[in-house]
Every structure is written in structure tokens, then in C-alpha cells.
Structure 1
Amino acid sequence: MWIAICMPTIQRQSNTLCAFSWMKRREMRLPTYSFFRVSIISQKMKFMLALFEYCNKLELHGLDAIGGPCYNGSGCFHRREALCGKKYEKNYKVDWKKVSDTKADESASFLEETCKVLASCTFEHNTTWGKEMGLIYGFLVEDIITGLNIQCKGWTSMYLSPERDGFLGVAPITLLQTLVQHKRWMDGHLQVFLSRYCPLLYGYKKIPLKLRLAYCPYNLWAANCLATLYIVVMPCLCLLKGISLFPKISSPWLFPFAYVAFVHRAYSLNEFLWCGGTFRGWCNDQRMWLFNRTSAYFFALFETILKLLGYSRLNFVVTAKVSDKEALKRYDGELIEFGATSPMFDILATLAMLNLFGIFGALKKIILDVDEDLQVLEKFGLQTLLCFVLVTINLPVYQALFFRNDNGKMPSSVTYKSIIFAMLACTATMC
């Protein structure tokens, strides 16, 4: 049985203490636990890693009911038989007395020579390590693929969540570090889905269908960027062009759009509050959701496609988690840390400016066409509201582009490029 004991720590840079073990249910009381650390939400900047709050308090509980949660962490101690590739058998039983009485009679020199062989870089060559034993090699999310492989061999995972806090660890405190970390995760998840380890195929007749389907939303996170980019880009451009995408305010067909948008956001807010968050924290979580999907997820999808076409290779990028005192002070002051040049920031800033220009275009239509201002609101009311919501979400981006003077502001090059790209897009649309 794979036991996952997660203890969330609500502190500034906090982690989760988790214990994993693969054992039978009747042997759960035996002390064969292991521990790993997962970065979760900080006390102030909760939107930086709010994903883990949902996973720990909602999603892992749901997965526990349909076959067991996925293994998502590093530094874990697993049940040796499960990690070494052994398939679970109904008559499986461990002789704990024999295991406890194991003694090494070899000499120190013999053990030293043996350790040299084990520590060498060639020990695993021509073996099943990395394929059937240990962590699966060749994937950016080696934990997910390893857990799936172990579950497909008959072992079951279980989720427990005691109240006691766990380890205190370090989490990314800058936006770029967080985006890079999410990009690596999305690269790996999509890589798993497009490989022979795709849960729908690899888990066929090995794990329940519900569990195979539960893996898919994680594996396809990167693909969600396409729908998000469409929602962010097209309404504002069509607003400038004078093309209506939604029903008129007085039309009864407006109700389905309004109902879906309202109910979905209300349900999301209810979940966030149930997890112990606040309304302000939920708003920040929506902001981080938009930043991730329009930058990190997009780059993950793009690089995965290039890799499939043979033009690129997926590289493991280590997330930097060390920052200077000034950045840490701004982090404690609830300011998003930009302060670096990155193509991801170019996209975020350009999309923010694009929606700002869309709002200006809508105001221009209302002010100049005084006689038709009600008709403009009637026809483009929902699009204008959507652009206004996106502008509100991007307020920290505008602040970093134009108003901040600290080292955490957007670099000037990003500001200039975003304005130029947004103006070119608007000009091309209106021509």
C-alpha cells in the first residue's frame, strides 16, 4: 500500500511533510513510512503556489477514493519491493522479524569495495534500473511516471492528512521562478501523455478507468493554454474591429453565458474558502492561473511539439529558490517580483497592454458615438466586461511596467516591446 501522509505547514516558505509507503492495508500500522517535501502555499503570497492547496485538501482525497493518489514528490522512501519492480501478489507477506534480524557479516574492506561499485556511474548499465526498477528515467516528472508504473503493478496508494505540521522548506518567491517550475511540470506531464506511458493506454486493465481518467487533467494542463489565449486575445481584438462575439445584453441567449461564468467562478471561490483561503487570496489565485496558462503552459506546449518534431530536447531546468534580502522584503510586502527579462514576461506584458487598448477602444466608441452609446453597450457589453476583468487581473503587471521604481519592476525592454507588439496587433486588426 502506498501511504501518503501530508501535513501542510502554513508559513512564509513552507512545505508539506508526506510519508509514502507501499504496503497492504492490514499492515498500515507498521512503521515503514518515508518522507518527502513539496512546496505549498505561503502565508502572504498565497497565489504563488495555491495549486498545492487544492491538491492536498481536495484532489488527493478524491483520488484516494478511486484507486489512490498519484506520487508527486521527491526524496521519498518507498517500500523496497514496490520500488524494485516487484508486482503485488495476493499472498504477499513480509517477514518483519527476518528483516529486522538481518546482519552483515562482511568485512569493512569488502563493504567499501561494494559501495564503490554501487556509487559508480555505470552500475545501472544493462539493467532494468530506470525502466522497471527505481525511478523511471527520461521524464521531467519522474515522480508521476514512477507512481503510475508502481500502481500498474498492483500496488495501491492511500492518502492520509494529519493535523501536525511537517518540514519547513524553501519555495520560489519570484514570479519567474514559479513560472519556470510550472513550465517544467507541464513539459513533463504532456510528455507522459504522449508517450507509451499514457495512463489511458498503459493502465488498461491494470488500474481502474476512473483513475486513468483522473491522470489526464494533469497530463493535459499544457494544452489548456490554447483556450485561455483565445479568451484573452480574441475578445479585445474583435472589440476594436467592431465584431460582436457574444449575444446582446437584451437577448435571452445571454443567460447561458452569464450562468456558466457565474456558477464556475462561484464554485471556485467556494472551494478556495473551504480550503481556508480568503476572497483576496482567491482573486490572487485567479491572477496566477492566468499568468501560468498564458506563459508557462504555452511554452511547455510549444517546446513539447518541437521535441516531437525533432527540433528540440526537453531539458530539466532546476528552479532557483534563493533570493536576495530586497526581493524577500518585497515578497513579504505582497509585491510580485518581476525584475528580469524573459519571453514569458514579454507575453504577459503584451497581453496586458492588448486588453488595456481594448478598453480604450470601447470607451472611444461610447464617448464619440454619443447617440449610439446605448447600442454600443447593448452589442459589446459582455466583451467590454471581459476586457475590464482582464485589465483588473493584470493590475500588478501595469504597476510593474509604469509605476514601480524598485528592482522588482519590469525591465524597460519588456515595457517597450509589449507596447510595440500590442500596438502592432491592434493596428493590424483595425486595418
Structure 2
Amino acid sequence: MKSEIESAVARGEVPDNAMNQHRGFSEWNPKITKQNHQPIVQIIIDGRDTNAVDEDGFQLPRVVYMAREKRHNYPHHFKAGAVNALIRVSSEISNAPFILNLDCDMYSNNANTIQEVLCFFLDETKGHDIAYVQFPQSYNNIAKNDHYANSYLVSNKFELAGICGYGAALFCGTGCLHRRESLSGAYLKDYKAKWDSKPKRNDNRTIDELNEASKVLATCTYEESTQWGKEKGLVYGIPVEDIATGLVISCRGWKSIYYNPERKAFMGIAPTTLDVACLQHMRWSEGMFQVFFSRYCPFIYGHGKIHFGVQMGYCTYLLWAPMSLPTLCYVIVSPICLLHGIPLFPQLSSIWVLPFAYAFLATYGFSLCEYLICGSTAKGWWNLQRIKFIHRTTSYLFGFIDTMKKQLGLSQTNFVITNKVVTEDVQKRYEQEIIEFGGSSIMLTMLATVALLNLVGLVGGIKRIMMDLNLEFSSSQLMMQITLSSLVVMISLPVYEALFIRSDKGCIPSSVMLKSIVLASLACCLAPFIC
């Protein structure tokens, strides 16, 4: 299929054999672009056709191809706009009571999934209250020690399940089965559907008539002066429309369920390079922080509608971006002050050192226990701490900056697609659990600068202590800063290796190395004037 698409692009037209196979292709022409085209709806397999069977003779389901209309003078609202168009078109063709939302890079891993989920929706006492059932995002290419922390073990097993305890699971945008009415703007108190309601299966219209009737629902002008994107369908105007939509549905009185079966329901492909992982987290953190500043802030929109615990649970994720600020203070101010002998923490002999020690030991000790309970390894937990450090000093920082720019009207919302296609050598390094830096992005420069700054601060701080006549006093004053910088240096060992030792294509480019050395040197030299 890839070669056929590339061939069609090179020729500027669809081959005749493809034209004859699917009539929908005849609507494409060289003047059409992916951002400027008419709506196309084509029923490729008709579920009513008795000849449409698979290799084993079983009836195939109806398969519909849809390309919603796009014009330069109409906003298309990214993924939310696509899903809303699909909701409308599917209501015209099948009007099935349940809708499965699944990203294109995920697949079904359990043939019994739908049957299991329907047990929730068809429950005689509480089934009517349920809007959707959310599955965790799982990946089939996780390395043994998960060096990019893609498995989200603690979130999947404890955090998301805990929020669901209040009857309001987070909608994650994929791996979710919805009740159609909940996505169509219905409030639970107004929901009067009956168990024996039937979808539009007895439609006598021909395939061509269904195609033409559906196209109207996929036009740019259809949503004008309607509640689509506000009260109906997925919410518009926010990059992580799934989180906001889940909150809106919960505030309408619906309940939702987070279901994490032993056999994973759906599987996908996790990022295999640091650049892609950071880009993905920057988009997530930026979008979720925008939700916090929007009218859909859980503490404002959800006030009096959902439990306070649910509001706090949402903010665990919505506030990823500002978490970059305290982390940067620790990893930038501390090593600079250590280099110049400026103490920031109490002496080891002071009683005031106990709160710092308790916070550190309790937080990371509890985190390690959680991770081991989830079945991972201690090395996997250490990799998690490294990736958290990387995200907070790069992805979340730039997500925070972009959000502030949007709040000030200096930029507009955009949608960045995560590219998970990798080459053979990248895949080989991923399987060997070697971090793939590559590229020359500003995030990589920031990461390298912070790593070098802590290395210089640690060396300079130890040198200062060794040269100080009052060794015992100086070591007591600066020991906590030395410990902090030592941890950052240990976490950053792969960064130093990629800067100075590695020579493969996954190492940090020399241009990034030079820029980070200059920036770290400037920070060390200008610090005395600032302090």
C-alpha cells in the first residue's frame, strides 16, 4: 500500500485499477490537496452484501471510507473535528448505540474486548449511567527496562483507577468505547433511551444514496450555528480535546469506567527516540495546561458537578507543565551556587535538614515500592526518574512557555503529529536500550546545558571543599547541594556519553555540544553578578 500511495503521488493521479476498484477514488484529482478538498464518503464493504465474506466464510462488517471537507477559510479543528464528522456520518449509516474510538497506530489485542465492555453498559441497575469505558494505553514494543518510561505502569494501575473510584474515568482519546448519546450532548437526567432501541439497520436506501446523504454531514458549513464542538461531540479549541471532553461528559451527570483487564485490550507502538518522546510530552503537557486555563478548568467547570477528588485527579495531569519551574530551580540555581560556595540548604547538624530529607526519602522510596509492585525492575524505576527529569527540563518547560504565549495572544493553537516510523539502526539501538538523542532541537540543547552545568558545579563544589581550611564546616554547609548535583550527574550519564563518547547517529550532534558548553559557561560566569 505504501508503494502504491507513493506511486500515485509521483504520477499526480490515482492508477486506473484503483479507480475501478473503489469509486471514491474518482473524486480525487490533481487540483485537490489534503487541506483543500470536498467531502468524500464511500462505503467500501456493504454489510448487507452476502458475498462480502472473509477467507473463512464469515460475514464482513460494513467498512466506510470518509474524508471530511477541508477549506482554507474554515477551521478543521484537528482530531476533534475529524471525530465529530465521523460521529455524524456513522449516525446516518448505522446509528449504532456504541462507538469505539481507536487511534490508527493501535490494534485489538483481545477478541472478547467488546463483549466484556458491554457487560458494563448492559448492567440492569447501573448500565444506563455509563457514558464510556476507558482502557489504558498499552504498547507492544516496550523494552525490558523501559528506558523511555513509555509503559506508565503506576498511572495505569493506581492513578487512573483511583480517579475512577469516584465514577469519573479520564477519557484518554483512544481505546475507549462510548455510548453514542453521551457524545451527542445528552445529559444523563434527560437520557430516556430504552434497552430495546434499534440502530438504523432496516434502511432501504441504496449505497449511493447513503453515500450522498452522509457527505452533507462531513462538509465545512454543516457545523455553523450548531453546538458541535461545544455541547455536542468532542470539544474544540484545545489540543487535548479528549481530557476536556471527558470532563464535560462527567459534569453532565454521566458515570464512566476505567477498565484494565489482565490481557490488554488494545496495543500500540511507543516512541523509540527521545526526540519523539519529548515532542509527544510537550504536546500533552501544553494541551493539558491549556485546559487548566480554559473554561473547562476542573475547579471552575466542575464545581458542584463532580467530586473534589476527581478535580484533584485531573490536575495531577493538567499541571505537568508548571512542574518544570521548581525542577529547573533545583537543577540550575543549586549547581551555580555550589560552584561559588553559596549554601542554599541547612547544615547537616541542623534540625531543619529533616524536612528536606523526609520529603526526598518518602517520595522516592514510595515511588520505588509502587514501581516494583507493578512488576517492573529497579533499573526501570531509575530510567523513569531520568525521563521525568528530562521531560521537566525540556518538554514541560517549552509546553509551559507555549501555553503562556497563547494566553497572551502571541501564538495560536497547533497540532503536532507524533512520527513513530523508525529506521533499522534506530530500532536496533532501541532494542539495546540505548537512548536515541539525534537531531538538534532546542530541547536537546537545554538538556545538555543542564547536564553540563551540574557536572561543572559538582566538580567545582568538591574542589572548593577540598581547598577550604575549615573542611568540616564547608562540607556540612554544601553537602545537600553536592548530593543533589551528584544525583543529577548520575541521571545524566547517558547525556555525557552521547556528548563525548558515542559516535553513532544517535549521539548528540557537535553543534548542540558547542552551544550547551557556551551556555553553561555563560551561566557560571554571570552568576556572581546576579547573586
TM over 0.5: yes
The 3-state SS of whatever aligns with 1:223 is helix
1:274-315 deviation line (CA, Å, top 9, x unaligned) = 111111111110000000011100001101111111111121
Moved more, 295-304 or 106-115: 106-115
Do residues 119 (structure 1) and 218 (structure 2) align? yes
* 2:278 aligned partner: 179
Whether contact under 8 Å (1:15, 1:37) holds in the other structure is no
CA distance in 1, matches of 2:328, 2:133: 41
Report the counterpart of residue 291 of structure 1 in structure 2.
390
CA–CA distance in 2 between the matches of 1:360 and 1:401?
18
Q: Residues of 1 paired with 2:108 and 2:432: CA distance?
A: 21
Q: Work out whether 1:379 is the aligned partner of 2:477.
A: yes
Corresponding position of 1:10: none
CA separation in 2, counterparts of 1:284 and 1:340? 21
8 Å contact from structure 2 (residues 150, 271) kept in 1: no
TM-score normalized by structure 1? 0.90
- Unmatched 5+ residue regions in structure 2? 1-97, 101-105
Aligned to 2:433: 334
Higher mean C-alpha deviation, range 205-214 or range 336-345? 205-214
Q: Which letter does structure 2 place at the counterpart of 1:64?
A: C
Deviation at 1:137, TM superposition (A): 1.3
Taking the aligned partners of 1:287 and 1:353, their CA distance within structure 2 comes to: 15
Give me the whole-angstrom Cα distance separating, in 2, the residues matched to 1:91 and 1:100.
17
2:510 aligned with 1:412, yes or no? yes
Secondary structure of 1:420's counterpart equals helix
Instruction: Summarize deviations over 1:151-177 as a string: whole Å, max 9, x none.
Output: 111110112222113333211110010
Counterparts of 1:49 and 1:65, CA distance in 2: 25
Equivalent-residue separation in structure 2 for 1:37 and 1:364 (angstroms): 49
1:137 to 213, 218, 236: 236
Matched, 1:82 2:189: no
Counterparts of 1:33 and 1:303, CA distance in 2: 32
The 5 A counterparts of 1:388-427 are 388-427=486-525
Aligned counterparts of 2:445 and 2:108: Cα–Cα separation in 1: 31
Q: How far 1:376 sits from its partner (Å)? A: 2.0
- 1:279 and 2:399 equivalent? no
Find the aligned partners of 2:489 and 2:364 in 1 and give their Cα distance.
17
Contact 1:359 1:384 in 2 (8 A): yes
Deviation of residue 135 (structure 1)? 1.0
Following the alignment from structure 1 to structure 2, what is the Cα–Cα distance between the partners of residues 114 and 296? 44
Instruction: Give 2:173's match in structure 1, choosing from 47, 66, 73.
Output: 73
Mean alpha-carbon deviation: is it higher for 34-43 or for 411-420? 34-43
Q: Is 1:147 matched with 2:242?
A: no
Contact in 2 for aligned 1:15/1:166 (Cα 8 Å): yes
Tell me if structure 2 keeps the 8 A contact 1:175–1:336.
yes
CA contact (8 A) 2:288 2:318 kept: yes
- If asked which structure has higher relative contact order (CA below 8 Å, sep 6+), I would say 1
Partners of 1:15 and 1:111 lie apart in 2 by 28
Indicate yes or no: 2:255 matched with 1:156.
yes
What is the correspondence of 1:151-300 to structure 2 with a 5 Å cutoff? 151-300=250-399
- Please give the alpha-carbon distance, in whole angstroms, between the structure 2 residues aligned to 1:76 and 1:66: 18
Structure 1 residue 43 corresponds to structure 2 residue 143: yes
Out of 297, 305, 311, the residue aligned to residue 404 of structure 2 is 305
Q: Does residue 54 in structure 1 map to residue 165 in structure 2? A: no
Gap change, CA 1:15 and 1:101, over 3 Å in 2: closer
Structure 2 CA distance for aligned equivalents of residues 16 and 418 of structure 1: 44
**Structure 2 contact 135–260 (Cα < 8 Å) conserved:** no
Distance 1:241 1:275 in 2: 43
Partners of 1:102 and 1:35 in 2: CA distance? 27
Structure 2 SS opposite 1:157: strand
CA contact (8 A) 1:67 1:207 kept: no
Asked if the contact 1:186–1:222 (Cα under 8 Å) also holds between the matched residues in 2, the reply is yes
C-alpha distance in 1 between matches for 2:421 and 2:200: 44
- Of structures 1 and 2, the larger Rg is shown by 2
Partner Cα distance (1:36, 1:378) in 2: 50
